[in-house]
Structure 1
């Protein structure tokens, strides 16, 4: 007897809008707000998402998920307001640590130069390799730090958990570019060698389809292709 078919579910992964950043600091868990440009990007994303829902005949789940970072929450809030304006019901914005960007642990929100100085002055640690910020497998040897791959596995776990609960519907997730890209690798959507070549547009929805048995595909939207000299900070 064949297994019953699982209903498809759809998932919009959305990188936050442009925000105020501390210069020279890896863009991870900084606590700063969206810029005016970022707010406009988030509102435009809500309108674009409403159009995608209508185009593909999707049913929207009433809960939007986002990380605890202010920029993600603001992006989710602006998207929710625009979706409501288009007649959709949004009952909750659910914040979760599962959608956070890579954690740098005790080095959170230090600049790259400060982090490298910390490691240089600590006799227990070696200097980080060149390009460590964008090295998928490198984890700072500091308490609470994650590698990008570890962050991606965390986000992929959140998406897998949401897939079963949102059968037949589109669920919106607002988070961060690097952890979403590495989650896509864990879900079989991106090859490892493509991770450094791609990014995500600010506040532009990328739709994924889940068909059961951990089978994922990109349904709509596009990755951003990096220019050769583009800074890989997400």
Structure 2
């Protein structure tokens, strides 16, 4: 059995009309405050449930996720079984649009129209789970979700192995592991690991800084222990 918390970063200084991609900007002050509030609410639940946190915290390598993870570590320091450490992983980043990273949507579509090798995409290309821009380094949302899912599954496999071989002094399966990343790639990862259905990807979002805590036991469907998915609104920013 393993338990993890999937956490979307807080609100950040996002460029307007730009696919979220790999924007390097920090959290806003409001974003920091909201993350702190969400972490404190999570702490209340941890205190009531008696559960503890895995001290190895994984975040996306992007600044907004790293800052979110840092706030969680500060607010929940008493719930980690030992001094927490934070590691950033590019595998937990949001969907990359490759060579056109951080260009506006009109600029990207203009480049597609100018290149005779490419077709102009459908109007909803940005939210199409399977569409991948034809630029070097780009990936689809479903591919980004698979990347995040693989990172989580590798952690689960390691914990299961440690538990079966008694390699770990601490029973990691009894702890909650924190994964801090991005809304769209986490939702697509949740599909890959059978937490939500494919049709739920566009219907659900994630609250800024809010943890969705899951328990995986044997081959059973994952159980949600704490937190809620957010119902998506029309034209809501996917990251």
Q: Please, what TM-score do these two structures have when normalized by structure 2?
A: 0.89
Give the secondary-structure state (helix, strand or coil) at the position aligned to 2:55.
strand
Q: Which residue of 2 aligns with 1:178?
A: 184
Provide the residue aligned with 1:40 in structure 2.
33
Equivalent-residue separation in structure 2 for 1:98 and 1:159 (angstroms)? 10
Deviations 1:176-231 (A, max 9, x none): 0000000111111211112111100000010011113485332221100012x332
Q: Structure 1 residues 80 and 131 mapped into 2: Cα distance closer, same or farther (>3 Å)? A: same
When the two chains are superposed, the root-mean-square deviation of aligned CA atoms in Å is 1.5
> Closer, same or farther in 2 for the Cα pair 1:90/1:50, shift >3 Å?
farther
* Matching residue of 2:94: 101
Q: TM-score, normalised by structure 1?
A: 0.91
**How much does 1:100 deviate?**
0.5
| Counterparts in 2 of 1:162 and 1:40: CA distance versus 1, 3 Å | same
Task: Determine the C-alpha separation between the residues in 2 that align with 1:170 and 1:24.
Answer: 36
Aligned to 1:201: 207
User: Within 5 Å, which residues of 2 pair with 1:44-193?
Assistant: 44-84=37-77, 86=78, 88=80, 89-164=82-157, 165=159, 166-193=172-199
Counterpart of 1:3? none
Q: CA deviation at 1:57?
A: 2.2
After superposing on structure 2, the runs of 4+ consecutive aligned residues of structure 1 that deviate more than 3 Å are 86-90, 212-215
SS at match of 2:57: strand
- Structure 2 residue runs without a partner (length 5+): 160-171
- Extract unaligned runs of 5+ from structure 1: 1-7
8 Å CA contact 1:80–1:90 kept in 2: the answer is no
Question: What's the secondary structure of 1:123's corresponding residue?
Answer: coil
Report how far residue 106 of structure 1 moved. Answer: 0.6
Match of 1:230 among 216, 224, 235: 235
